[in-house]
Copies of this chain bind each other. A is one copy, B any other.
Amino acid sequence: MDLGGTKMQVGVLGADSEVTYESRESSTGQTEDELIELLVREIEEAREARPGVAAVGLGIPATIDHDRGVAISAVNLPIDDLPIRELVGERTGLPIFVDNDANVAALAEHLHGAARGADNAVMLTIGTGIGGGLILGGEVYRGATGAGAELGHVVIAMDGLPCQGNCPGRGCVETYASGTALGREGRAAAERVPDSALGTMAAGGREIDGRAVSEAALDGDPTAIGVFDLVGTRLGVALTSFANIFEPEVFVIGGGVIAAGDLLLEPARRELSARALPPMKDTPVVAAEMGADAGMVGAAAMARAELEQGRPG
C-alpha cells in the first residue's frame, strides 16, 4: 500500500512481483481513526479479491520508526506517533511492515527499476519536498530507528534560506532544488524577464509553480530552461556530497519534477562532474523508471524482504 497525502494506491503482488489486484482511494481529510479504518477496509477488500495475502507493506510519507512500525509525524497526513503496525495488525491478523515512502521507492528501483544490479544507490524523490532513499550493500539503509535517509535535508548553503515543513534547518537542498524551489525561482525569473514565455504566463494570471516552469521549459522557453539550470546545478551540489560520502553506483532521481528529464539532470551531472572527487565524479545520474507504481511495488517488496528475514510484522 502506498499511502499519500491525497490518495492511496493498494495492490496485491504475486511471487514474481506481478500486480494481480489494484485499487485507488482518496486519503484526504481522514483522522487517525478513520485512516486506520480505511487501511483495514482496503486490506480486507484486497484479501477478498485475492485470497492468500501473506503480509502487508505500507509506504507512508512520514518519519517512521521502522522497527516498531510507528508513524511518528507527517506533513500531509494526520499522524502523530501512530502505531500503525499494531493497530492494523490486530484488526487484520496479518504481519504489517511500515516504511517511509522514499525508502520503498528506492527499494522498487533497486529490485525492478533504474538501480537494478546496483548494491549502492542513492535515490531522491523530488516533488514539493525532496525525499531520500538509500540502498547500501544491497539493502535499504534507514538509520538507528528508521528516521534516517532524510536526504532532502543535507545542507548545501550554511547561511541559506530557512527550510520548510518540520525542518528547523536552513540551506537544505530541499529549499534549493525541490518543486517548491522551482516555483520560487520561476516567479523571480518571470518578473525579471517579463517578455519570456514564463513572464507571459505570469502576466496572464497563471500561478508560476514547478509545473508551470516545467511546461514552459519543455516548450523551449530559455528563461524557464535557465531556472532548471539553476535548480539542477544546486541539485548537483547535493549529489557531490552524496557521491563523496557513498561512492554509489548510480543516482536515481524520481518524483514529479523529473518530468523535465535532462533539463534538470544535465546541469546536475555537470556540477557533480566538476566538483566530486575523481573516483566519484562520473557516477551516473538517471531518471527513475518505476513511475507511479514505485511506492506500491516497493512497499510489497519491503514486506517480502522483512518476512524473508524472519521479522514478525
A158 touching B237 by the CB < 8 A rule? yes
In chain A, positions 2-38 with a C-beta closer than 8 Å to chain B are: none
Set of chain B residues within 8 Å of A120, measured between Cβ atoms: 143-144, 148
A248 touching B147 by the CB < 8 A rule? no
Report the Cα distance A141→B137, complex, angstroms: 8
Set of chain B residues within 8 Å of A144, measured between Cβ atoms: 119-120, 247-249
Cβ 8 A contact of A145, one of B63, B238, B277, B279: B279
In chain A, positions 95-133 with a C-beta closer than 8 Å to chain B are: 119-120, 132
**Complex interface bits, A141-175 against B, C-beta within 8 A gives 1, otherwise 0:** 11111111111011111110000001111100000
A276 at the interface (CB under 8 A from B): yes
B136 touching A275 by the CB < 8 A rule? no
Measured CB to CB, the nearest residue on chain B to A152 is B244
Q: What distance in Å separates the Cβ of A20 from its nearest Cβ neighbour in chain B?
A: 33
Check A245/B148 contact, CB under 8 A, given A143-B120, A157-B157, A158-B156.
Answer: yes
B119 touching A279 by the CB < 8 A rule? no
**A interface with B by C-beta (< 8 Å):** 63, 72-73, 119-120, 132, 134, 136-137, 139, 141-151, 153-159, 166-170, 234, 237-238, 240-241, 244-249, 274-281
